[in-house]
Amino acid sequence: METSSIEINELPVATKILTAPASVEPITMETSSIDELPSSDSNATDNIEAVGEKRKRADEDEKTNLESSDTKITTPSPWWKTSLCSYFRREASCSHGNECKYAHGEAELRMKPDNTWDPTSERGKKAKALKMSEHEEKEEDEVLFTEQMMESIDGDEVSGGSVIDLSLSKCLVHLPNKWQSDELKKFLGEQGVQYKSAKKRRGMIVGFVTFENAEQLQIGVEILDGKTVNSSNVKIADVLPRTFDKNDARKSVKSARDAVTPLAYLSYADQLEQKKTSIGQMLKKLARNARKACPNGNSLPQWVLTSRDRGGLACNLEGIIESPITNGYRNKCEFSVGLSLQGKPTVGFSLGSFCAGVTAVEEPVDCPNVSKIAVQYASIFQKFIEKSKFQVWNRFQHSGFWRQLTVREGRKPGVFSNDEDALTRIAEVMLMVQVCLTGSDEAEVATEFEELAKAFAEGARASSPSLPLTVLVVQNHSGISNVAPPDAPLQVLPIPMSDNGTNQEQTTNVLTEARIHDHINNLRFSISPTAFFQVNTVTAEKLYSIAGDWADLGPDTLLFDVCCGTGTIGLTLAHRVGMVIGIEMNASAVADAERNAMINGISNCKFICSKAEDVMSSLLKQYLDVAQMEEAKPLCNANDDLNKQIPSTEEMTNSEHVADQNLPPSNTRVEELQDNEQKDSSSLEPEKSTKPQFKNVVAIVDPPRSGLHPAVIKALRTHPRLKRLVYISCNPETLVANAIELCTPSFDEPDRGNKNYRGRKKIGIAALARHRAKSMPTSEAFRPVKAMAVDLFPHTDHCEMVMLLER
């Protein structure tokens, strides 16, 4: 690939422009963008007319600015001729002539200031292909395929029950994940490949092929290696024996440290810089896609026009907030249970994805994000399952007993430090062991659980210093993935007390006992086994502080906490607002949120147990529609009924004990919440009148990695009283997609709808958001104001992002 840029003095057309008479008006780049051209991989030619129309709008705005400007620019913009001209590309001519700021052909094209080429150019396409090739080569080197994996896939059995010769077996990588063994065999037949057996499981991108002899293997590899299947190149990998020795590896092998903390080899300053750059790229992506999504014939939003002034960013990136704790910061660690490369039962982290055929599990050695307490409990559990008569879970055969160990830690208030002195800051520990009880004998399981509790208790006491152990829970789950549904059955196991041999008096079926506590901003939070809680609480305090400051809160503010989890955001900001409405679909998390409000004496919060997409629209109407509101009465009166149910701090000699008495068991929370929904609403619902109760309405959303549901986006976008939105995202890709729908101007009625959308395969989430934006009802669009990166996950490539949207 050509990497050197073309200098301006090498371009005859550009030279002519620079030496033109004074009467020629210089070109400024104030309101234009080089990214309005369609990308090479998404309708590069389908929307050329639309692109031309948008460029025409930008040129008209630019011309207006030039006519009103008294300052004459005598030097070209650094972005001059760095993008191909869409007019010239379509018609081989351009009405702008020599004054066009875009390149008329590959010869005039210059490299961008960020050392990249226009993605629609030949050099840009070559650079992208080279980058993808390098990524695939790196990916191939990291893939591990073991003998056991091959034997676990249903397929042709080796004749006579003989042992498979691994030297005659190969693994095919990058196959369509919808294929099964029959499709793989058909593909091999079409390519003229002779083989002995072929196996492929649906949902994976790998397949296994065994050949009759070395000659057949060599011919097959030559035919298959690099063969294109559905735009992906097939790669050939070895099948490693189950007794594989990493020290004698024929290729490099990932460690658990590499798989879990890929940035650990960098200094923390370099990690922050890399993450800040990554968030900046997301903001550029938002500006580019918003330009494409805007209706034709309308002026582009001001924030899109001025994005060039910010280096292509949709809004200002305020910087990145670093984590005060960089080692052992996670208060929740989920350890998989499986077989190592040597075939040994192991508790640790998977070395890759199941889709890619990687199921090997390695111990969490030298993983800087995991606390020493969690590592010690993983070691105790591993020693136990090595002697257990129950088998570890096999994802290929969907069989086994031991599946996963989750370690949750609760720290003391106001104490934080790095992992070196973790025991000084950890007060409580919850262990949750996930098992599959299908086909197990009940009596044998009960005996095994007793032995398990004894092993954990003895292991905790034997450590020096001893480890805290507050509660032990068993979760029953029979699905393929370890991600269990929120209502998966839980059982609390009694933990044997210390040396005198007595047992703790504790029932095993009351889930209200299964909880630990953590602290954020001097508030005490009760956490149940499956409830969401930030894994880095010290940095989360900074995150919530930024969100509250940007939301411009006050006593007359109504705050919607969407996807509230255990209520951490709403409760930490409750003292700054008039009222908080939290929405969460996890019933146990809502129970925790209500409990947390009670034990902290907070009375101006209401939590709704439902999917946000089901209730968001009705809640906005209920609390904000002017026509349905009464003249504001004091908030304390509106909350009288709730206050009667919540004892004051003085009345709570033991707040946690009072909370346990007032709240029913978690397995009845859903029914109770449904039965009392209208009763709870009556105490807080505004009465009818002509004046709103709250002058300022703000929403803070903290959705899962998949982002906000389209119905939630529609409700937030279309309600006129909601003027400010703070979006907290653990996946900036989905934030960009949601922001496209929130910030794109509405289409006129004749243009509304997805008329040109035909359900394209492999469409990106940003492109899908652009199509959905066309169906957005007429409403005022938000605009991105500023963004901040927050490093909640040091040593990993994940980074939290906060964005303020206003209108």
**DSSP structure string for 302-322:** HHHHGGGGGTT-SSEEEEEEP
pLDDT at 625: 59
pLDDT at 50 over 60: no
**Residue 91, annotated as binding a ligand:** no
| Better-scored residue on pLDDT, 144 or 720 | 720
Q: Quick one: angle between helices 710-718 and 612-624, nearest 10? A: 10
Neighbouring residues of 416: CB distance < 8 A, sequence distance ≥ 6 = 324, 325, 425, 538
Confidence category of residue 802, pLDDT binned at 50, 70, 90: very high
Range with lowest mean pLDDT among 142-151, 262-271, 691-700: 142-151
Domains in the chain: boundaries: 79-129, 166-238, 332-497+514-520
pLDDT at 751: 56
Q: Which among 395-404, 524-533, 539-548 has the top mean pLDDT? A: 539-548
Range with lowest mean pLDDT among 236-240, 337-341, 579-583: 236-240
pLDDT at 406 over 90: yes
pLDDT at 764: 78
Range with lowest mean pLDDT among 86-90, 434-438, 732-736, 777-781: 86-90
Instruction: Give the pLDDT mean for 787-803.
Output: 95
Range with lowest mean pLDDT among 278-282, 510-514, 694-698: 510-514
Sign of the Cα pseudo-torsion (304, 305, 307, 312, in order): positive
Phi and psi torsions of 741, nearest 5°: -70, -35
pLDDT at 553: 92
Type of residue numbered 537? T
Name the E strands within 355-463. Answer: 361-362, 402-411, 426-435
Confidence category of residue 474, pLDDT binned at 50, 70, 90: very high
| Better-scored residue on pLDDT, 656 or 453 | 453
pLDDT at 245 over 60: no
| Better-scored residue on pLDDT, 10 or 186 | 186
Instruction: Give the pLDDT mean for 391-409.
Output: 90
Percent of the chain residues past pLDDT 70, beyond the cut: 71
166-238 against 332-497+514-520: fold identical: no
Confidence category of residue 775, pLDDT binned at 50, 70, 90: confident
The CA distance from 293 to 133, in Å, is 31
Structure tokens at 247: 């020290």
pLDDT at 480: 79
Dump pLDDT digits (tens) for 274-301.
Answer: 999 999 999 999 999 998 888 877 788 9
Range with lowest mean pLDDT among 22-36, 179-193, 448-462: 22-36
pLDDT at 626: 45
Instruction: Give the pLDDT mean for 301-323.
Output: 92
Instruction: Give the pLDDT mean for 349-358.
Output: 77
Tokens 């998977």 belong to residue: 350
pLDDT at 231 over 80: no
Confidence category of residue 737, pLDDT binned at 50, 70, 90: very high
| Better-scored residue on pLDDT, 341 or 453 | 453
Give the fold, CATH level 3, of 332-497+514-520: OB fold (Dihydrolipoamide Acetyltransferase, E2P) (2.40.50)
Other C-beta atoms lying within 10 Å of the C-beta of residue 609: 23
pLDDT at 548 over 80: yes
CATH code 3.30.70.2860 for 166-238: no
Whole-number mean pLDDT of the chain? 76
- Which residues form the catalytic set? 730
**Residue 748, annotated as binding a ligand:** no
Tokens 């190149």 belong to residue: 233
Range with lowest mean pLDDT among 64-78, 107-121, 236-250, 396-410: 64-78
Range with lowest mean pLDDT among 212-216, 239-243, 559-563: 239-243
Tokens 């889709």 belong to residue: 355
Dump pLDDT digits (tens) for 593-641.
Answer: 999 999 999 999 999 998 888 888 788 777 765 434 443 344 333 333 3
pLDDT at 407 over 90: yes
Which residues face 333 on adjacent strands? Answer: 407
Angle at 242 between CA 236 and CA 248, to 5 degrees: 75
pLDDT at 174: 85
pLDDT at 330: 93
How many H helices and E strands in the chain?
A: 24, 23
pLDDT at 81: 85
Structure tokens at 539: 């940095």
Which residues face 490 on adjacent strands? Answer: 475
pLDDT at 9 over 50: no
Range with lowest mean pLDDT among 55-69, 297-311, 525-539, 698-712: 55-69
3-state helix, strand, coil in the chain (%, to 5): 40, 15, 45
Q: How far, in Å, are 378, 403, 443, 507 from residue 477 at the CA level?
A: 20, 9, 19, 21
pLDDT at 277: 92
pLDDT at 201: 83
**Residue 491, annotated as binding a ligand:** no
Which DSSP string corresponds to 209-228? EE-SSHHHHHHHHHHHTT-E
| Better-scored residue on pLDDT, 436 or 754 | 436
Confidence category of residue 421, pLDDT binned at 50, 70, 90: low
pLDDT at 449 over 80: yes
pLDDT at 652 over 60: no
Angle at 62 between CA 57 and CA 63, to 5 degrees: 100
pLDDT at 16 over 50: no
Which residue in 541, 549, 591 sits closest to 568, CA to CA? 541
Dump pLDDT digits (tens) for 127-181.
Answer: 777 766 555 444 444 445 555 555 555 544 444 444 567 788 888 888 888 898 8
Structure tokens at 174: 């990058």
Q: Is 103 helix (H, G, I), strand (E, B) or coil?
A: strand
